[in-house]
Structure 1
């Protein structure tokens, strides 16, 4: 057998290609229009209307702009839902800039602590390379937003509005990333030179002061107290003065975040179902809760999400949003594109194999705001609130087919009361620690 591509082999390829009329037609279409536009299946939209038997109504669609804060927006969208409905409001938003400030501050501290914990690792080790790859990017997971809220509370968007750097985080993240890598270089070099840990930690405190200064310059200083003033649907004016962020959260949202847990569906060979998992060196608040989830079948995720929505509460989730997505009309549907037919090929990897071989992982977080149940009570499509603005999808909302859920849904967060006791016990058991680079440690 040949080990290289010869001219004879190329001629054989070309002759075979030209012999098929469909190849010539596909070549003309794709070179002129691109893959997805050519492969688009016009029939996919039929029967998948943006109507749902279980539907929750929200305020205006939010927009994360040019930032990677989807996990944060999704969590705050879940929480603001309760404020809107309990206070009878037309519209309300929590400050995404406030949580961004403290997330960056805490991630910087978490990174520097991780560097101090690994000073004896070789610089070219996989662990150090992983830590240095993205010291404080925008992404996150559910437990990380819980850490921020429990430590710092929340504020209305009016108390800490968006800035240029919060809506387009690239420049700020690039600056902080360079500084943190510089700090890591200094700490590791001085450790090799024999400087004691006490002096390194003193330097780390000075480094954190610089990080704080940069964040204040980019995002403004977070409020310590503020006045909450708002008018409800009946035109009644409400004022609450001199609130702290933690007092605001406890008074106006007052959800017990410890009652909410993460379920994942990761059907990979190394992760048995009904076991608890955590990830090494993954987090933001050093003293906060660890990132933890229990791995269960897809049907368990669906049942819990439906129960929570039927009880009137939205559901935070993480998925691989870019797969089989029609962004213009807001459809996540395996039938959107006929790529197999267009290219005369089959895509045969299972969900677990796609995760194991780097073809899929959690990339984006959104909120379930409804589901359509058929006559037998089974879901066939899901209503999704996104954070890409109202011009994306159908007025900012997306439709996810149940088949898409099975293939590209990875995580949901629900209240424990919607889960069987055995699932809760599995979640609370001693977690299996995954390596820092495990796909399930990806940040939405």
Structure 2
């Protein structure tokens, strides 16, 4: 249609004749859409009270980086360590895991470029690979690979740097270098058609990448001393450890005992089947990103069992949806923007995935919930975030069960809390999803 002067005049008149439009306009113009839409009537979905609450530890702050998935995973490791040794708190180095994730991810990118040298440069696959070669985001299997290969170190053994706390410049310039290397690899292949030459070039490029990361983030330690005093004033000391020894000896978590569950109710993803995403990962020789698609109630059952057993739960969701950050609410009853705009919001979870309206954007940790002890139905969840203690309620959010249904996409559950049907599905050969599938999204939201 053509937007004519008559169309504008008629709709201007119609708009101002409606009292609701005039009220909504004043509220939104003066307060912003979000504040103008807030329903401040308190209900059961957004109270910070829970009948399961794990012991609180110090809230972490990812600052101006997209390392939420990494922080959430290391929060689990810290909880395990603190529980084992009765510590008030202990911080693991996220700069250490960031260094090796970026090193491995650069290698993965160059390998992907070599694998696709026969693909058209302007084709969808190569274009996708080149779009964001060095972001911060990730998924569970990616941090699992880093920990299994490189171990972990205390925060004092590799402290935060300016570039780990605010990653934009490092990512920007490293991306430029990687795209230049991609160009060089493809042009070399156009000239000689020699894959072996490309592999030699890749090794030379990775030497330079190591130097870049060392300059920006510092060089990871090879050995360190683990020393801490617990709540009983006992001094614990273990000297000259490698990062791998520290993880295996003092954290004692078998990361392979956990299964990543997703809820993607789309026609192309059958329930109780495992899936992987092509060209998504970091450590070439270790596990691919893999998960089992299950009904949302299977997720909830696993979460409740794991929390009852005193263990936090890593998860990924679309945090920006109907999120009232000021009061730390993730629910469907507080932010009423579509009521304010008088729009009927008719979008199912399946539709939102298919039409690019929603995907996983942020990873956090469940550390409690409120549930009905007769039916085991969860009412709301206590969420530990990584945006610092001044964000939310002392760093914690509350998520309603209704919000969970619509915007929860991934949870990590120990096999011991899952039935054989899920475990069998995970052990089967994974079905391959295209690189741009919404389930291949990387959690990377910054505060």
User: What is the TM-score normalised by the length of structure 1?
Assistant: 0.98
Query: What is the deviation of 1:44?
Result: 4.1
SS in 1 for 2:327: coil
Q: Which residue of 2 aligns with 1:272?
A: 270
Equivalent residue number for residue 443 of structure 1: 442
* TM-aligned CA deviation for residue 439 of structure 1: 0.4
- C-alpha contact (below 8 Å) 2:264/2:409 kept by paired residues: yes
Q: Which residues of structure 2 form unaligned runs of 5+?
A: none
1:27 and 1:276 mapped to 2: Cα distance?
48
Match of 1:413 in 2: 412
Shift of 1:15: 2.2
Q: CA deviation at 1:45?
A: 5.6
1:412 shift after superposition: 0.2
Q: Decide whether aligned partners of structure 1 residues 62 and 45 sit closer, same or farther in structure 2, where only a CA change above 3 A counts.
A: farther
Summarize deviations over 1:106-156 as a string: whole Å, max 9, x none. Answer: 000000000000001111010111000111210000001110011101111
User: Where does residue 402 of structure 2 map in the other structure?
Assistant: 403
Q: Residue 123 of structure 1 corresponds to which residue in structure 2?
A: 121
Residue 58 of structure 1 aligns to a residue whose secondary structure is: coil
Hey, what does 2:134 align to over in structure 1? 136
CA distance in 1, matches of 2:226, 2:326: 37
CA distance in 2, matches of 1:248, 1:147: 16
Q: Distance in 1 between matches of 2:285 and 2:344?
A: 48
Question: Do structure 1's residue 294 and structure 2's residue 289 form an aligned pair?
Answer: no
370-379 or 300-309: which moved more? 370-379
Q: 1:82, 1:116 → 2: CA distance? A: 40
Q: Which moved more, 1:51-60 or 1:102-111?
A: 51-60
Please give the residue correspondences for 1:330-369 in structure 2 after superposition, counting only pairs within 5 Å.
Answer: 330-369=328-367
Q: Is the CA contact (8 Å cut-off) linking 2:263 and 2:294 kept in structure 1?
A: yes
Partners of 1:166 and 1:405 in 2: CA distance: 31
CA distance in structure 1 between the aligned counterparts of 2:346 and 2:165, rounded to whole angstroms? 39
2:343 match: secondary structure: coil
Taking the aligned partners of 1:341 and 1:360, their CA distance within structure 2 comes to 20
Residue number in structure 2 paired with 1:156:
154
Distance in 2 separating the partners of 1:345 and 1:15: 20
Asked if 2 retains the 8 angstrom alpha-carbon contact of 1:278 and 1:431, the reply is: yes
1-side partners of 2:93 and 2:304: how far apart? 28
Q: Which residue of 1 aligns with 2:191?
A: 193
Checking the alignment, whether the CA contact within 8 Å between 1:319 and 1:363 is kept in structure 2 is yes
Q: Which residue pairs with 1:235 in the alignment?
A: 233
Partner of 2:424: 425
**CA distances 1:283-324 after superposition (whole Å, capped 9, x unpaired):** 000001010111111100000011011011100000000111
Distance 2:61 2:356 in 1: 29
User: Alpha carbons of 1:54 and 1:46: their partners in 2 closer, same or farther (altered >3 Å)?
Assistant: closer
Partner of 1:60: 58
Task: Kindly report the root-mean-square deviation, in angstroms, between the aligned alpha carbons of the 2 structures.
Answer: 1.1
Deviation at 1:329, TM superposition (A): 1.8
1:336-355: CA deviations, max 9, x gaps?
11223211111100011011
> CA offset at residue 58 of structure 1?
3.1
Q: TM-score, normalised by structure 2?
A: 0.97
Query: Does the residue aligned with 1:176 lie in a helix, a strand or coil?
Result: helix
Instruction: Report whether the alignment pairs 1:82 with 2:71.
Output: no
Structure 1 residue 252: deviation in Å? 0.8
- Structure 1 runs not aligned, ≥5 long: none
| Residues in 1 aligned to 2:228 and 2:112: alpha-carbon distance in whole angstroms | 43
- Measured in 1, the distance between the counterparts of 2:42 and 2:181 equals 52
Residue matched to 2:106: 108
Deviates more, 1:192-201 or 1:59-68: 192-201
The structure 1 residue matched to 2:92, chosen from 94, 113, 126, is: 94
In structure 1, what is the Cα distance between the partners aligned to 2:148 and 2:189?
34
CA distance 1:168–1:45, change in 2 (3 Å):
farther
Alignment partner of 1:277: what SS?
Answer: strand
Contact 2:70 2:143 in 1 (8 A): yes
1:44–1:333 CA contact under 8 A, matched in 2:
no
**1:381 paired to 2:376:** no
Deviation at 1:194, TM superposition (A): 1.3
For the residues of structure 1 that align with 2:373 and 2:97, how far apart are their CA atoms?
42
Compute the displacement of 1:59 (Å): 1.6
Match of 1:43 in 2: 41
Report if aligned partners of 2:104, 2:282 keep a CA contact under 8 Å in 1: yes
In the aligned structure 1, how far is the partner of 2:43 from the partner of 2:389? 20
- Indicate the SS of the match to 1:369: strand
Q: 1:46: how far off?
A: 6.0
May I ask how many residue pairs the two structures share in their alignment?
A: 442
Contact in 2 for aligned 1:109/1:208 (Cα 8 Å): yes
Q: Tell whether the 8 Å contact from 1:263 to 1:411 is kept in structure 2 after alignment.
A: yes
